[in-house]
Structure 1
Amino acid sequence: MEAHLRLATANYPVISFGTGSNVRLPGPSISQPNVYAFNRTSYDSMYKELYVKDEHLYRANGVLELLDRNRGIKWGPERWQDWSIGLPRLTQTNDKGSVGTEGGTVDVVFTCEERCWDAVIEDLHQRGGKLNKPVHVINVGIIDNAKEALAGGSAILDLANCFQKALEEEEEKFGSGSQARDGFDDRVPEIIGEWEERWPALPVSWTLAWF
């Protein structure tokens, strides 16, 4: 969600998803996680439930801080595999209601764990690319803690800015049609290579897939 926050603050249209079967948050022990359903449980309700359960524990392990941040970004966690690709919808950023319209596709997907990258690619393959629309799927490997999330969010924003600049350059040459998009797609590997030189500590994987 740190990357979501960074991109949204920079005025990029962004949506975020998980890829697992449920949302799992740390509990009193490794064998006792707090498990919530995607698409049906708000971050606000998670926060309030864990606050009542054990405020000291969940404040000490950072879960309340994480949920407090998340509930200011969007209503609740969604699952990638349940997303109706190609179907526009209103997007919800918080409990105040619906804000903006999401067009049903994106140009770039960022993941932060290799297992999520694999899950997204597998799901897109199973959907069959019926829209014939290219999408760049990029994994930036980020260790799951607050410090690394901050650095990773900055790195992903940097890469998004480079993509945006390249697209604008192609549109200046060719207009906003398919030729500009083709030019941008061709430049993505080079852009990622240059980005890797600035962020050598972050492993990155990339592939071109289809909606």
Structure 2
Amino acid sequence: MADSRYNLSQLFKSAFGINSPIFITQPLSKEQKETFDYRGIEMITDYHKSEATSWMGTPIIGLLKFKGGTYKRYNSRGVLEDRQMLDFTLPPATLFSFRRAKNITKTNLLGSNGTVKEIFGFDDWIIEAKGLAIDTPEMSATDQIKILEEWENLASSIEIKGGLFTNKNINAITIDDYREESVQGSPGIIPFSMTLSSDESIVLILPDVND
């Protein structure tokens, strides 16, 4: 049986240039190690509960699931048609970063320092996703990327589920940009990156004509 272990920190560095620091808990000197007494310290057991478990048995924190359902997609003639999609969870080795701007109008004041700021609202959340599709016993990396490309081809927002997103009230996203990479000498590993935008449905309330 082939060795299925992966050095994820090295793979992220090769694909995206992301360095994972190595923390050394003990000094490199030959002095006698200091002993500590940890009696009486309580352990927090519910901190960062995992949302799922990978096929290797490792906990997954911060997963993103695309909810299945009926979505719109352009066919070869450029006509929108319905497309039935199944649930799809992004590969466990996926990193997310979030940023959001405020819509602020600033007015200069004559004879005074600073500006008057009027906050009208918030812009969309911009999510940068960088991940690695890795061969697993259930699905190859190539098949994972094929399914991800089907979601990328949709012409509508995507309903999602995930703790990191729910905490920010993000229930749907759009895929603004998609990119695939390659790692030399690793045919079973396909790096990918996406730029996502949060999407919030706007309900138009029409006035009653009888009022």
**TM-score, structure 1 normalization:** 0.25
Whichever structure has more helix as a proportion of its residues is 1
